[in-house]
Amino acid sequence: MTTTPVRTEHAERTDPYPTRGPREVTTARQDPVVWPASGTPGRSGAPGPVSRADLAGFERDGFLTVDRLIGPDEVALYRAELERLVSDPGVRADERSVIEPTSQDVRSVFEVHRISEIFAGLVRDERVVGRARQILGSDVYVHQSRINVKPGFGASGFYWHSDFETWHAEDGLPNMRTVSVSIALTENYDTNGGLMIMPGSHRSFLGCAGETPRDNYKQSLKMQDAGTPSHEALTRMADEHGIRLFTGRAGSATWFDCNCMHGSGDNITPYPRSNVFIVFNSVENAAVEPFAAPAPRPEFIGARDFTPVR
Ligand code: 6CS
Ligand code: FE
């Protein structure tokens, strides 16, 4: 007797946050911002280094700032490691490095938590991973890490976007249970291309119009196109939420929810705005198939190793 293999269709799954279809569509957030500790429903926020007032601020605004997350000696250590990495020809030639289109300077290096033991140590630091576990209410793994050099004299910024929109569409993160920290390694002035966030924008999801091209990351990490909001949407959101520019000395940090609408301007000053950027995802929100892309992005951009940070 012969049997024919039964073709199982790709199980239809509902997408809570539709994006990259024919038109822009706004969906209310369906996830908590500060998650209850796994197994203790209701109580928001596991114990940890973030004060209750700061947790409340994070819930409301989508971000919180720490004036001095790391001290001057640590800043010097991470600055030196950043300089070592960006001046290493092997790193520069590696696909993990993004080169500035005009100046040919290194713009970013991805997956520094894997290629650098020094940055791996920063990820495991309780002042860092402890805050992520507290906000996400669970163990966490690193979905992405990068150093952004943002040299002076013309480094280009990042246009307005929601990180979650990309991480959902292209990396397959199902829910908004992901938090980023940007740790300043140089002074963030109000003139050298600082991070801007629309406070409160994390509470609604803007699904963008336009399909994801194949191998989109090869272009999007230089200048994002797919996943870019319309002028109308940005005007509406800026009118509703305002725009907050983050400044701070080296060693300060901004923690922000994965769905904040944010961006940064060019840096034409002589002063670099370098930072290390770490994205923690809950182990209960591990990446699945992309929700709106032909294939997942490479692992150095969207991790597929979900081992919790210890
Ligand atoms: O596509 C990404 O994953 C990266 N792009 C930007 C502009 N922010 C988030 C992330 O590093
Ligand atoms: Fe971003």
Query: CA angle, 95 as apex, 93 and 96 as ends, to 5°?
Result: 105
Tens of pLDDT along 97-146? 999 877 788 889 999 999 999 999 999 999 999 999 999 999 999 999 99
- Cα torsion 279, 285, 290, 295: sign: positive
Mean pLDDT of 201-218: 94
The CATH homologous superfamily for domain 69-275 is q2cbj1_9rhob like domain (2.60.120.620)
- Which is the closest atom of ligand 1 to the Cα of 301? 3
Q: Ligand 1 pocket: which residues have CB below 6 Å? A: 144, 146, 158, 161, 163, 166, 220, 224, 301
Tens of pLDDT along 214-237? 999 988 888 888 889 999 999 999
Mean pLDDT of 200-216: 95
Tens of pLDDT along 37-92? 876 666 656 778 999 999 999 999 999 999 999 999 999 999 999 999 999 999 99
Tens of pLDDT along 142-159? 999 999 988 888 888 899
Output the CA–CA distances (angstroms, integers) from residue 149 to 88, 117, 132, in the order listed. Answer: 14, 19, 24
Tens of pLDDT along 244-278? 999 999 999 999 999 999 999 999 999 999 999 99
Closest CA to 251 of 186, 299, 191, 199: 186
Ligand 1 mutation target, pool 112, 143, 144, most atoms within 8 A of CB? 144
- Which is the closest atom of ligand 1 to the Cα of 217? 1
Closest CA to 71 of 122, 124, 120: 122
pLDDT at 8 over 80: no
- Give the ligand whose atoms come closest to the C-alpha of residue 166: 1
Decide which of 154 and 280 is more confident. 280
Task: Quote the pTM value.
Answer: 0.94
Tens of pLDDT along 56-71? 999 999 999 999 999 9
Decide which of 164 and 221 is more confident. 164
What is residue 4's predicted lDDT score, i.e. its pLDDT?
42
> CA 65 to CA 51: how far, in whole Å?
12
- Give the ligand whose atoms come closest to the C-alpha of residue 262: 2
